[in-house]
């Protein structure tokens, strides 16, 4: 693995030089199946270099990023292209602006990001009943399994999970999907020019926009009584027709329930006590609203 790592670093350096980028240092940020990621120090600022070993992921991510940049939920891609090589295996590359880590939760910056994300979601809506039906049946199956599992493992909260089953099983959501990030968690947020952005768009594709939004709520430990739902919904409604407008808010809560059931099961397995308590409390609040 050490030898492979060195080959990728050497290739990354040659690639940067070939693109006319002079740098002081290049630091591996991750090594995984999605591609190799490097932080590049060019003196006055930093860049991120992504090498792709999966051409499909590169093409899909490039397509989504171009749209996401327009709605300012993704930072700008400075350069990209194909660079096929067998040893080490590389199909393509992408160079983008570097995001600083978020060190404190600024409510106004978070709400500003939520507005931009909502605009991105509502402007890329797809009404595809057959595809949505496939996803919905899968989500319902997950809810059934999670309710069954958690009701046995977390006896004191059994009545909440029973209520979840009652609410979700009879609900008929709007058959809408949109382009989504799909992998939203705190480590995939960053700051650029005083704004919050998302990075690592390799998993992005068609999904439920309200699931994406639920991940934002959880990532920042937001209180749903603090107007964050209204912030998202009001912006979302600016781009949709009146036929679905009155259903959006309720759909947001339903998908929040589905997301939270998945999350509670996951954090229970990992024995993350704080996350379990927050997730269950948030689930209670959502059910009370519905």
Instruction: Quick: pLDDT tens for 211-241.
Output: 999 999 999 999 998 799 999 999 999 988 7
Tell whether 158 and 240 lie within a shared domain.
Answer: yes
What does the pLDDT read at residue 245?
77
Name beta bridge partners: 189: 198
Q: Which helix H or strand E contains 84, and what residues bound it? A: strand 77-85
Tell whether 176 and 86 lie within a shared domain.
Answer: no
Domain at 74, CATH number: 3.30.200.20
Domain at 192, CATH number: 3.90.1200.10
Tell whether 127 and 89 lie within a shared domain.
Answer: no
Tell whether 92 and 112 lie within a shared domain.
Answer: no
What does the pLDDT read at residue 35?
61
* Structural domain that includes position 32: 2-97
Tell whether 269 and 222 lie within a shared domain.
Answer: yes
Tell whether 59 and 135 lie within a shared domain.
Answer: no
Residue 102 domain flag: no
Tell whether 29 and 115 lie within a shared domain.
Answer: no
Tell whether 155 and 84 lie within a shared domain.
Answer: no
Tell whether 205 and 243 lie within a shared domain.
Answer: yes
Residue 159 domain flag: yes
Coil, helix or strand for 179?
Answer: strand
How, if at all, do strands 46-52 and 77-85 pair? Answer: unpaired
Tell whether 118 and 260 lie within a shared domain.
Answer: yes
Number of structural domains the chain divides into: 2
Q: What angle do CA 64, 65, 70 make, to 5 degrees?
A: 105
What does the pLDDT read at residue 32?
56
Residue 41 domain flag: yes
What does the pLDDT read at residue 3?
81
Spatial strand order of the sheet with 205-207 comes to 126-127, 176-180, 205-207
Name residues of the chain where pLDDT drops below 70: 1, 31-35
Coil, helix or strand for 192?
Answer: strand
Tell whether 53 and 139 lie within a shared domain.
Answer: no
């Amino acid at each position: 693995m050490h030898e492979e790592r060195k080959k990728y670093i050497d290739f990354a350096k040659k690639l940067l030089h070939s693109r006319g980028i002079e740098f002081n240092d290049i630091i591996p940020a991750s090594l995984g199946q999605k591609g190799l990621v490097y932080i590049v120090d060019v003196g006055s600022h930093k860049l991120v270099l992504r090498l792709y070993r999966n051409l499909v992921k590169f093409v899909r991510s490039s397509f989504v990023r171009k749209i996401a940049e327009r709605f300012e939920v993704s930072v700008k891609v400075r350069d990209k292209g194909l660079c096929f090589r067998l040893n080490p295996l590389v199909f393509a590359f992408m160079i983008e602006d570097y995001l600083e880590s978020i060190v404190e939760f600024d409510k106004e910056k978070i709400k500003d990001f939520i507005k931009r994300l909502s605009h991105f979601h509502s402007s890329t809506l797809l009404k595809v009943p057959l595809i949505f039906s496939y996803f919905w049946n899968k989500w319902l199956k997950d809810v059934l399994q999670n309710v069954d599992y958690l009701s046995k493992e977390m006896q004191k909260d059994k009545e909440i999970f029973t209520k979840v089953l009652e609410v979700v099983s009879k609900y008929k959501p709007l058959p809408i999907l949109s382009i989504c990030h799909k992998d939203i968690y705190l480590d995939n947020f960053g700051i650029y020019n005083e704004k919050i952005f998302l990075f690592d768009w390799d998993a992005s594709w068609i999904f439920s926009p309200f699931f994406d939004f639920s991940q934002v709520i959880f990532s920042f430990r937001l209180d749903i009584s603090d107007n964050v739902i209204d912030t998202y919904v009001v912006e979302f409604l600016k781009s949709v027709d009146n036929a679905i407008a009155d259903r959006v808010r309720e759909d947001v809560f339903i998908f929040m329930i589905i997301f939270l059931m998945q999350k509670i099961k996951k954090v229970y397995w990992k024995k993350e006590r704080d996350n379990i308590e927050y997730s269950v409390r948030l689930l209670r609040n959502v059910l009370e609203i519905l």
